[in-house]
Amino acid sequence: MTSATIADAKPSLQTEFVFRLSIDIAAPVSVGETGLGVRRQIAIMGGELRGPNMRGKILPGGADFQIIRPNGLIDLVARYVVELDDGALIYIENTGIRTGPREALERLTRGEAVDPDLIYFRTVPKFETGSDKYCWMMQTLFVATAQRHQAQVVIDVYKVL
């Protein structure tokens, strides 16, 4: 193989489903317009993690911190802890964006149901744990799709292979 052939080779990018997070949330608390956009905090009340190889519960006490930009784009960072059924604890920091047609975003803000296909809601979760069994999660990249419902966020997490 020549160096030109190696330079032209492109590694494939594939994903594999790992688990679904169903996160119970409180009503948003708005700090107001800060000059960067409207700053909000949404408390995480609990929820569950379910996947083919792991199950657990989301512990209350986390939060989703958001900035709603004037164009409707939402930047978010959520931080929370999951306790797996085997007792392992995993800290999750999930950054992402949510955007879509202004009318659909306004309906979501009012707590109305919106077709998830209208909303682009993607995140990049990162994990930390002291568990040897799950340390692979700190050595792997993940991407996720998400859906916002009135009192819940549903996130499907995929590892990048």
* 70/105 Cα distance (integer angstroms): 12
- Structural domain of 104: 12-160
| Spatial contact of 131 and 89, defined as CB atoms under 8 Å apart | yes
Lowest-confidence pick of 51-60, 106-115, 130-139, 146-155: 106-115
Rounded to whole angstroms, the Cα distance separating 5 from 60 reads: 52
User: Residue 23: inside a domain, yes or no?
Assistant: yes
Does residue 61 surpass a pLDDT of 80?
yes
Q: How many CB atoms lie within 10 A of CB 12?
A: 5
Tokens describing residue 78 = 């959520």
| Residue 145 structure tokens | 């799709």
**Assigned domain for 101 exists:** yes
Q: Based on the structure, what is the number of domains in the chain?
A: 1
| 146 contacts 98 by C-beta, under 8 angstroms | yes
Residue 6 lies in a domain: no
Comparing 44-48, 111-115, 119-123, 136-140, the range with the smallest average pLDDT is 111-115
pLDDT at 4 over 70: no
pTM of the full structure: 0.90
The CATH number of the domain where 144 resides is what?
2.40.160.20
Find out whether 33 and 41 touch, Cβ atoms under 8 Å.
no
Question: What does the pLDDT look like over 15-48, one tens digit per residue?
Answer: 999 999 999 999 999 999 999 999 999 999 999 9
- Position 82 in a domain: yes
- Within-domain flag for 36: yes
Q: Report yes or no on 2 lying in a domain.
A: no
Residue 98 in domain: yes
In DSSP terms, 116 is beta-bridged to none
Answer yes or no: is 5 within a domain. Answer: no
